Each structure stands twice: as C-alpha cells, then as structure tokens.
C-alpha cells in the first residue's frame, strides 16, 4: 500500500516550502530540513501508520535500487 493522497499532498506542500526557502543551503542542511518536515508530518500519525509508510517507502526504494543495479550491470557487462 502506498501513501494515500492526503498524506502525499501534505508532504508535497511541506517539501515545496523547504525547497522554496532553502535556496542557499547546503545539501546536508536541506536534508535536515526535509527530515524535520517529514517527522512533523508523521508525528501525529498513529504508530502503525507511520511504520506502514516507512516500510512501504523502504520497499519501493529497495526495488528501485535493484532495478538500477540490474540495468547498470547489463550495460557494463
């Protein structure tokens, strides 16, 4: 199950704000701001929902990593 529309919209709006205001910041500072916004967004969620979101996003990222790794291996091999 992926993030529902409401959660996606809320995160998108918060992250747009971070990037709009963070023009002169380093990548590390932006990363910290993004993490803070995600934590604030998820802070009010019930624990099971936050864990579901984390597991889903981790699985998606892992799968994308596999796909990119396979593509890279195919190109270099």
User: Tens digit of pLDDT per residue, the chain (77 long)?
Assistant: 456 777 778 778 887 888 788 777 787 887 888 888 878 877 777 777 778 877 888 888 888 888 888 888 888 86
- Tokens linked to 57: 């996003």
Rg, Å, the chain Cα set:
16
pTM: 0.47
CA distances to 27, 44, 71, 72 from 66, in Å: 25, 32, 9, 10
The DSSP annotation for 7-64 comes to HHHHHHHHHHHHHHH-TT--HHHHHHHHHHHHHHHHHTS-HHHHHHHHHHHHHHHHHH
């Amino acid at each position: 199950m992926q993030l529902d529309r409401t959660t996606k919209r809320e995160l998108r709006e918060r992250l747009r704000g971070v990037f709009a205001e963070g023009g002169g910041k380093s990548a590390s500072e932006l990363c910290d701001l993004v993490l803070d916004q995600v934590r604030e967004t998820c802070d009010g969620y019930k624990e099971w929902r936050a864990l579901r979101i984390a597991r889903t996003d981790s699985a998606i990222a892992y799968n994308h990593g596999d796909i990119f790794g396979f593509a890279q291996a195919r190109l270099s091999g």
